[in-house]
Chains A and B, each alone.
Chain A
Amino acid sequence: MGDLWSGLTQAFWLVVTLDKELVEISWRSLRITLSALVLASAIAMPLAAFLAVRRFRARRAFIAVMNALMGLPPVVVGLVVYVLLSRSGPFGVLGLLFTPTAMIIAQIIIIVPLIASIAHQSLRDLWQEYHDLLISMNVTQWQKMKTLLWDARRALLTAALAGFGRAIGEVGAIMIVGGNIDHATRVLTTAIALETGKGNFALALSLGFVLIALAVAVNLAIHWLGRTEREGRW
């Protein structure tokens, strides 16, 4: 209880005084996760739309695998990315291990199945609604996908936010591939792990509160942006 309270007060003072290190790692957390989110969305959403409009033999199996991958253990993703990016691994020459780029790659792998699955569900429902009309209009496959993606954008926002939530709170994979290097790859979650390791529960907790506040703030901001859009309420 004492740790909880002192964590809260410490979090409060860190935020109020705009603690330099706190700002730095929060900023880095946000930067890495948002980069991963944009790239993952750019992969997952067209994929979801493709799976909604296109019928092919392995489609069901593909969707089942994708849904299963939502529960991909981040630590395993981290290990695989680590081995691939290590100097002795196949992509070692790129020198990406222990860089923010490696962390972005790991986060993308973790959240693509999540975003694609959630997006696919809403796109599939919308496709059922639109199917007759778009078929009758004789539009191309690509036009169908674009129409679905645009008209379901609110639901896709939810999918993206789910991906954001998972990515920003992730620690296992990015600890492995990022290395938790101070001033380079240390983010909120890995800093929390580090401080916990030192027994500094209050500081760890305060970072945790900042992390939660950050996640909530981003959610609110994105919802607010969505609402101010002109076209109204769907």
Chain B
Amino acid sequence: MSDMFPLKVTGAETTRRGKRLVGPIDLTLDGQGTCVVIGPNGSGKTTFLRLLHGAARLAGGEIRWSCPLEDARHDQAFVFQSPVMLRRSVLDNIAYPLLMRGTARAEAREAASNWAARVGLGGMLSRAATVLSGGEKQKLALARALIAEPKLLFLDEPCAALDGRAMREIESILSQAAASGTRLILSTHDMGQARRLASRVVFLLHGKVHEAAAAEQFFDHPETPQARAFLNGDIVE
């Protein structure tokens, strides 16, 4: 259904002060299911997601969507590891993306209130977003990302600091989103979560794609010794 995909990445890299953070990366992604990005700390997962999203400057190579870049940017959203809360109410936070797209205020608020209910924030619409708990903030960020019905949603370790219950709720929202056709690209250091959600896995090491495969194949038959070691819980350098 998505005309953004396939996404073709060739030789993409990003640098900071002349030092290469990530890349060169060659990768092709199609428009189905959930792609989970894993790798040890410092392997460049966050930068990789930002690079694809367009939030990190491309220093070389190419990231090519199957549609014009502007349309691609319009149809994606990003949920950060520590979500940014606008200094507004829960309702106004969730409605924000719609308002920025010119939706009428009443309509945007109505939609926001529906989304708040779907992520379990229905009882705290007028509360200040900045005083929510970590799990509530993450759920708000999800609702805010999904309200504009993106075709692609990036999530950077969305459950990094959450307890089990919050994690379950968030994964359930993510599964629903994936089921309704939103492509997810999600980074995590939680192998359990990776196995639960992934249809495809990208294993990053030292800023490069070390291995990329369908989820079952990757988890059952990792090709490289590093991937095998990582899945075993060994330290990979």
Residue numbers of A with Cβ under 8 A of B are 126, 129-130, 132-133, 135-139, 143, 147, 151-152, 231-234
Contact = CB atoms under 8 A, between A and B. Distances in A.
Contact of B128 (A136, A137, A232): A232
A130 to B, nearest CB: 6
- State the majority secondary structure of interface residues on B: mixed
7 contacts: A130-B86, A132-B80, A136-B53, A137-B97, A151-B87, A232-B89, A232-B127
A132 B84 contact: yes
Nearest to B97: A137
B154 to A, nearest CB: 8
Contact of A136 (B78, B87, B96, B130): B78
B53 A233 contact: no
Given A136-B77, A137-B100, A147 B86 contact: yes
Q: What range describes how many residues of B lie at the interface?
A: 10 to 19
B20 interface: no
B55 interface: yes
Nearest to B88: A151
B89 A231 contact: yes
Nearest to A144: B100
B73 interface: yes
Contacts of A232: 89, 127-128
Nearest to B73: A138
B111 to A, nearest CB: 16
B130 A234 contact: yes
Given A136-B55, A137-B100, A138-B73, A130 B128 contact: no
Contacts of A136: 53, 55, 77-78
10 closest cross-chain pairs (CB), A and B:
A133-B84, A136-B78, A151-B87, A234-B87, A139-B100, A232-B128, A138-B73, A143-B100, A135-B55, A136-B55
A22 B88 CA distance: 43
Interface in B217-237: none
B55 A234 contact: no
Interface string B59-90: 00000000000000110011010001011110
A234 B53 CA distance: 31
Contacts of A147: 86, 96
Contacts of B74: 138
Contacts of A143: 100
Interface in B88-106: 88-89, 96-97, 100
Contacts of B78: 132, 136
Nearest to A136: B78
A130 B80 CA distance: 12
Contact of B84 (A130, A152, A233, A234): A130
